[in-house]
Amino acid sequence: MEQEFWLDHWQRGHIPFHRAEVNDLLQKHWAGFGPKHPTVLVPLCGKSVDMPWIASQGHRVIGIEWAAEAIDEFWQAQGTEPHREPSGAFIASQVDHLTLLQGDVFAFTAERLDGPVTVYDRASLVAFNPEQRIAYAQHLSALLQPGDNMLLITIDYDQTQRAGPPFAVGPALVTSLFADDFEIEVLDKVRIQGKKIPCWDLVFSLQKK
């Protein structure tokens, strides 16, 4: 996935990856997943309603998003007008414990994180093409310190049967991307109903070594 592809989808309002409800696998596994740190980072956050839900659990949420449209639509849906200001390579908008940064996820640096962090990735890793996902995994690893962790939700299917995104990211691929730097546990595998080809949602817990 190229940045232009992502931005074009938001500008045209073609966002089939967006979910109007809080992700059920997030709600199912959040309580048992841990330790959950005070700050939760959400890469390629879109206008996800998962973010205010995570904030309601007592966390500070930082979302990173390329598309200005996504950020504007998020705040409109929340019924609030955020404080906005330039912040390095980003435009930051904030209300209470929710901060959205408009800009390139690869421009986000560890210096912006104050203490331990948990990453929540539902639609980011699966959006990157095979070449980009290696760089993305390396970038996440560089951001996190030992003990930091990630709740990762991916989709798995026979990639020869359809083109992504979302791209198929199964256990073997997660292992190849992250095993050098993270302890990995598969938490769940759920068949997705109503698809033309067999598809599964996978949930992983990753902890930085």
Q: Compute the distance between CA of residue 62 and CA of residue 44 in angstroms, rounded to an integer.
A: 11
**10-14, 27-31, 135-139: which range is least confident on average?**
10-14
Q: Which of 139, 122, 127, 74 is nearest to 100 (CA)?
A: 74
pLDDT at 1 over 60: no
* Confidence grade of residue 14 (pLDDT, cut at 50, 70, 90): low
* Confidence grade of residue 62 (pLDDT, cut at 50, 70, 90): very high
**Which tokens in the block code for residue 11?**
């500008």
pLDDT at 3 over 80: no
pLDDT tens string 141-187:
999 999 999 999 999 999 999 888 899 999 999 999 999 999 999 99
Q: Compute the distance between CA of residue 129 and CA of residue 79 in angstroms, rounded to an integer.
A: 34
Q: Compute the distance between CA of residue 28 and CA of residue 69 in angstroms, rounded to an integer.
A: 30
pLDDT at 104 over 80: yes
pLDDT at 10 over 70: no
pLDDT at 63 over 80: yes
**97-101, 110-114, 135-139: which range is least confident on average?**
110-114
Q: Which of 41, 12, 22 is nearest to 148 (CA)?
A: 41
Using DSSP, state whether 22 is helix, strand or coil. Answer: coil
Using DSSP, state whether 62 is helix, strand or coil. Answer: strand
DSSP state of 44: T
pLDDT tens string 108-126:
999 999 899 999 999 899 9
pLDDT at 195: 87
Average pLDDT of 26-33? 94
pLDDT at 200: 97
pTM of the model: 0.93
Average pLDDT of 192-208? 95
Q: Compute the distance between CA of residue 69 and CA of residue 8 in angstroms, rounded to an integer.
A: 10
**Which tokens in the block code for residue 186?**
């598969």
Q: Which domains does the chain have, with CATH numbers?
A: 3-13+21-208 (3.40.50.150)
